[in-house]
Amino acid sequence: MCSSQMEPSEEPFNISAVSKEVKPQPLTEKKIQGKKPSGFGVSSNGVTQSVDTYEKLLSSFPEFSGFGPLFKSSSPIELTEAETEYAVNVVKHIYSGHIVFQYNCTNTISEQLLENVTVIVDASEAEEFAKVDPASGEVEEEGVEDEYQLEDFEVVAADYMLRAPVLNFKNAWDSLGPDCERIDEYGLGVRESLAEAVNAVINILGMQPCEGTEVVPNNARSHTCLLSGIFIGNVKVLVRLSFGIDGPKQVAMKLAVRSEDVGTSDAIHEIVANG
């Protein structure tokens, strides 16, 4: 989604075309008896365990000791094609003021031993490998320098957002209040469907869909999607997206953001505008 497609719209958004009612979807969370809490939570135990594991590993390096707590670690991103001689992936570790790239390199050639592997973050990797005698398994004394090209990867806005579901969106929205609320309207350009537009914005922000609102009914002309997350700095964020699509498949969107910090609310709008 390019920035020209997501600039604030000059045309007034036809809010009457978008239902203010959030229709229940099949994927809604189970209701909890009694008072509905509005607290945020981590999207899955797997994410928490992954961060804890990585944080323990990274804390063993003195170079990272002053970075503070680890905010988020990405899933491994493959930088080589399947069944190549070297399999390389990268994990992005996000701190409040730093990013650490963890490169995992696996040698699939039994006759070679990788030594002194260095990753240069300009899309090239310099490495030295030594030949191994298949019969004896011994490493030859002199190695050979070589370079191996890796795929590009990006650091995106979603890397700075944790998916954090809320048990009741309305309660959470009301608890944050309007003090740090920011609202604007955007033209998203031509889209095949509202579902495509909804998924694109969810992916850009990296937030957790709430109450099944990521599901868009077939042939819908309007839709409301609710998102929640925790932004870098442990700032709680809630987003209400109101979409509408016209005959030529032009999609308009009203974005309302509430958070604990007005700078974060502004940042969410900037991410969408530049997405």
CATH label of the domain that carries residue 120: 2.60.40.1480
Between 28 and 274, where is the model more confident? 274
d(CA 110, CA 187): 55
Share of the chain above pLDDT 90, in %: 55
pLDDT for 98: 94
pLDDT for 122: 66
pLDDT for 149: 77
pLDDT for 73: 95
Q: Pull the structure tokens for residue 25.
A: 């979807």
Assess whether 131 and 264 both reside in one domain.
no
Range of the domain at 265: 3-41+164-273
Between 44 and 207, where is the model more confident? 207
Place of tokens 């868009």: 216
Q: Which ranges of the chain would DSSP assign to H, the alpha helix? A: 45-58, 169-176, 194-205, 262-273
pLDDT at 6 exceeding the cut of 60: no
156 domain-assigned: no
Judge whether 188 and 5 are in contact, CB under 8 Å.
yes
Assess whether 8 and 49 both reside in one domain.
no
pLDDT band at 14 (very low <50, low <70, confident <90, very high): low
194 domain-assigned: yes
pLDDT band at 42 (very low <50, low <70, confident <90, very high): low
pLDDT for 124: 37
Assess whether 9 and 64 both reside in one domain.
no
What are 92-146's pLDDT values in tens digits?
A: 999 999 999 999 988 888 777 878 888 877 633 433 433 334 444 444 455 556 6
Assess whether 35 and 170 both reside in one domain.
yes
Q: Pull the structure tokens for residue 255.
A: 């974005």
Amino acid at 211: E
Q: What is the CATH number of the domain that holds 229?
A: 3.30.310.10
State mean pLDDT over 263-269. Answer: 97
Assess whether 87 and 182 both reside in one domain.
no
Assess whether 85 and 140 both reside in one domain.
yes
Mean pLDDT of the chain: 80
159 domain-assigned: no
158 domain-assigned: no
Assess whether 238 and 264 both reside in one domain.
yes
Assess whether 172 and 93 both reside in one domain.
no
pLDDT for 4: 35
Assess whether 13 and 76 both reside in one domain.
no
DSSP E strand boundaries for the chain: 72-73, 77-78, 86-94, 99-107, 112-120, 124-131, 144-149, 161-163, 182-190, 208-209, 222-231, 235-245, 250-259
155 domain-assigned: no
The values of phi and psi at residue 247, to 5°, are -55, -50
d(CA 188, CA 27): 26
State mean pLDDT over 138-158. Answer: 72
Assess whether 115 and 141 both reside in one domain.
yes
d(CA 71, CA 160): 8
Pairing of strands 124-131, 144-149: antiparallel
Environment class of 97 (CB within 10 Å of its CB; exposed 0-12, middle 13-18, buried 19+): exposed
What are 224-259's pLDDT values in tens digits?
A: 999 999 999 999 999 999 999 987 889 999 999 999
What are 60-89's pLDDT values in tens digits?
A: 999 998 999 999 999 999 999 887 888 899
pLDDT at 173 exceeding the cut of 90: yes
Place of tokens 């509202």: 194
Report CA torsion sign: 212, 215, 220, 226. Answer: positive
**How many domains in the chain?**
2
Assess whether 120 and 252 both reside in one domain.
no
Lowest mean pLDDT among 39-53, 163-177, 200-214, 258-272: 39-53
Assess whether 59 and 16 both reside in one domain.
no
Cα–Cα–Cα angle for 185, 186, 188, rounded to 5 degrees: 155
Judge whether 149 and 124 are in contact, CB under 8 Å.
yes
157 domain-assigned: no
pLDDT for 52: 84
d(CA 70, CA 93): 7
In our burial notation (b when 16+ CB lie closer than 10 A, e otherwise), range 139-158 reads eeeebeeeebebeebeeebb
